Structure formats: structure tokens, C-alpha cells
Amino acid sequence: MGLFTSKTSDASGLEALVKRVGRASGPDPELDAAIWTAIVAVVPNFAGEAGTAPPALTASLDAALVVAERALPDWTWKLNQVDKGTKHYKCTFEPRKGSPARGYNEKTAALSVVDALLRALLDRQAA
């Protein structure tokens, strides 16, 4: 079985979440729940966790990275502060082969990681 389950191959849900993350300005428990539900639905590694409390993905860099590393175990990541005078972050996930997925957020590092994770899941789904 690939990374994604066949029943949830709808990219529009992930694309909608990318847009919501782009509009987010900080921690958002409702957005955490939506992201968690999508990840549990599309990544078999998380299938047994349906109905569990979502981690604070939009609030915690640690939580976002733990979930990202589990969802994309064969990918590498890097996180950079784009401008030292501001809080603009860029996160990149890179598969062993193919183009990297980049996330960018002007608010927090956690949101940048979540943005890049969702984009990487979309890329992986399309492959």
C-alpha cells in the first residue's frame, strides 16, 4: 500500500487546508483538528488514531515536526527564518527523488512546517 489510502485521495481537502493555514495568524485548535483529521484519513501510519485528540500542530513546532516526520519518514526537512528582523519562516520537505515541497508562513515556524507538510502530502498524492 502506498502512502495514501484509496478512499481519501481527494486533493481538494488538503488544498483547502493549505489555504486555511495560509490565512492563520497563530495557534488555532479548530484548524489543528481539521489538519489532524485529514492526516489520519490519508496517511495509513495514522489510521489507528482516528478519533484521538489532535496535537497542537499550529501552536507547537515540536508537535508539527513529530507528525511531519511520521507522515513523511523518507523525506528530509529544513526550516529557515527568512528575515532575521521578522518572523517569516520557510520550511522545505524533500523526498529522495523529485521536487521539494515548500511552505512559507509570515507568522510562526509551526505554521510554516504544517504548510509544507500539507503541500508535501499533496505532491506525494499526485505522484
The answer to the question of residue 100 being in a domain is: yes
Joined together, the cell numbers standing for residue 44 give: 495509513
State the total domains in the chain. 1
For residue 41, being part of any structural domain is answered with: yes
Cell numbers 520557510 correspond to 90
Give the pLDDT confidence score for residue 13 in this predicted structure.
87
| Residue range 109-114: mean pLDDT, rounded | 93
The rounded percent of the chain whose pLDDT value lies above 90 is: 37
pLDDT tier for residue 10 given thresholds of 50, 70 and 90: low
Residue 3 located in a structural domain: no
Cell numbers that stand for 85 in this block: 528582523
Q: Which domain holds residue 88?
A: 10-126
pLDDT, one tens digit per residue, over 33-89 is 999 998 988 888 787 788 889 999 999 999 999 999 999 888 888 888 887 777 788
CA angle, residues 116, 125, 120, in degrees to nearest 5 = 10
- Residue 114 in any domain: the answer is yes
Whether residue 99 is contained in a domain is answered as yes
**Domain for residue 25, yes or no?**
yes
Among 66, 72, 85, 78, residue whose Cα is nearest residue 44: 72
- 108 phi and psi, to 5 degrees? -140, 160
**CATH code (residue 119):** 3.30.2120
In three-state secondary structure terms, 24 is coil
- How many CB atoms lie under 10 A from the CB of residue 2? 10
User: Helix 109-126 to helix 61-71 angle, to the nearest 10 degrees?
Assistant: 10
Provide the pLDDT confidence category of residue 9 given band limits of 50, 70 and 90: very low
95 has pLDDT over 70: yes
Q: Are 117 and 93 in contact (CB under 8 A)?
A: yes
